[in-house]
Every structure is written in structure tokens, then in C-alpha cells.
Copies of this chain bind each other. A is one copy, B any other.
Amino acid sequence: MYLDKTSIVIVDDHSIVIEGLKSLLDGDPLDVLGHFTSGNEACDFIERERPDLVLLDINLPDVSGIDLCRKIKAMAPETKVLVLSNHNERNIIMQTLQNGANGYMLKNISKQGLLQGISAVMAGEIHFCNEIGGIISKPTKYELGDPPYLTKREKQILRMVADGETTQEIASRLNVSPLTIETHRRNLHHKFQVKNVAELIMVANKHQLL
């Protein structure tokens, strides 16, 4: 490995995307050390090889890319993490940044955009592609904050509500009092700050909890 080359690891569950990135990147000042379709394999390799940069997808089969980002930063703080994702939701972008990502770009990026992003990140900047910059700077009233923390029981009941089950039906399926389910439902409404089921299901969907 030459000192003047930037060593790169690619993590993406689509081998087509990995091929595309390799063919776009593996050249002059860049060196693709390895590529992985699952988070855990990638984790071991990154800990050993300490690459300069990880190109990371959010949707992985085993662990969330957001968690993997935090792990990488804990193991190898000097390794830069540039997230490449299809998600343009504000809360997902924010979560990656809070977990140490050095940049976030959408996958419909051009070759130039990608190379610019990589050099920006390697120069120590936090870098976004244009669309993402716009999303971060204008938090609209329809954008989401952090998803609320839900207990196991609440998640379970949320799913049953989403399946169209009534309070009574849920209660008898879980062998508890309907009054208990009503309490859980009220707590869900408070946590999501909504006032009825329709809104509840909408925001739970936006938070990808269903």
C-alpha cells in the first residue's frame, strides 16, 4: 500500500453497486482495499486494515448502517465514513451524522460528485451532495424529529393497531384487560404527539416503524 493512495472499503448489500463504485474509483489516487455486502464481515476487516475511508450504505442485511458507522468510529476514529444512501429523510441523515459520519450522499450521485465528496471528506470536511444540503438546511414542519423510544409492548401493540385490530381484539389476543390496551394506546399517542389513529399510523410509517 502506497502512502499517497487513499485506501477505501466499500460496504453495500448490492453487488451491482459495489462493482459500479469499484469501476468508478479504483484508479489513480484511490485504492479499493475490500468490499462487503454485510456489516459484520466489514467490521472485522476494517478493524484489521484501518482504511482511510469507508463508503457505507444504510440498508444492510445484518446491522443498520447507522450502527455500523458508530462502531467503525469507535474502533478506528481516524477512518472517515462517507454514507451513500437512497434515503433523503432528514432524521436518517441526522442520525448518521450523530453517529460520526463524515459525509452523506445520495446514490444518484455522478462520478465527479462522488470524487469531489471523497476528496472533501479526506480533507477533513463534512460533506453532502446538493440535495442533502437543501434537506438539512430547511427543516419543514412535516419533517420528523427523533423517533420516540417505544417499549416492546408498545411496539407490539402499535403493529396490531396497524393491522386494524381494535382495542378489544388486542386485549383478548394478549389476555389482558382492554383498559390496559387503552393505556398503551394513549401512551403511543403522547409519544408520537398525535391525536388519533390515522395520524399515529402515518407518523409511525414515516419513522419506518411499521
Most buried by B among A16, A23, A108: A16
**A166 contacts the other chain (CB 8 A):** yes
Q: Which residues of A (107-125) have their CB < 8 Å from a CB of B?
A: 107-111, 114
Q: Which A126-154 residues have C-beta < 8 A from chain B?
A: none
Q: Which residues of chain B have C-beta atoms less than 8 A from A198's C-beta?
A: 161-164, 197-198, 200-201
Known: A21-B20, A22-B23. A196 touches B164 (CB 8 A): yes
Decide if A190 is an interface residue (CB 8 Å cutoff): no
The distance in angstroms between the C-alpha atoms of A37 and B109, with both chains bound, is: 11
- Could you mark each residue 1-28 of chain A with 1 if its beta carbon is under 8 Å from any beta carbon of chain B, else 0? 0000000000001111111111110000
Establish whether residues B199 and A108, one from each chain, have CB atoms under 8 Å apart when the complex forms.
no
Contact with B along A28-56 (1 / 0, CB 8 A): 00000000010000000000000000000
Q: Are A199 and B163 in contact (CB under 8 A)?
A: yes
A17 and B15: CB pair below 8 A? no
Let me know if A202 is at the binding interface, CB within 8 A: yes
Cβ–Cβ contact B23 & A194, under 8 A: no
Is B108 a contact partner of A15 (Cβ separation < 8 A)? yes
- Cβ proximity bits A169-210 to B, threshold 8 Å, 1 near / 0 not: 000000000000000000000000011111111100100001
What is the distance, in angstroms, from A144's C-beta to the closest C-beta of chain B? Answer: 15
Residues of chain A having any CB pair with chain B under 8 Å: 13-24, 37, 84, 107-111, 114, 161-164, 166, 194-202, 205, 210
Q: A16-B17, A16-B84 are in contact. List 10 more A-B contacts (CB 8 A).
A: A15-B111, A19-B19, A19-B111, A162-B199, A162-B202, A197-B197, A197-B198, A198-B198, A201-B202, A201-B205
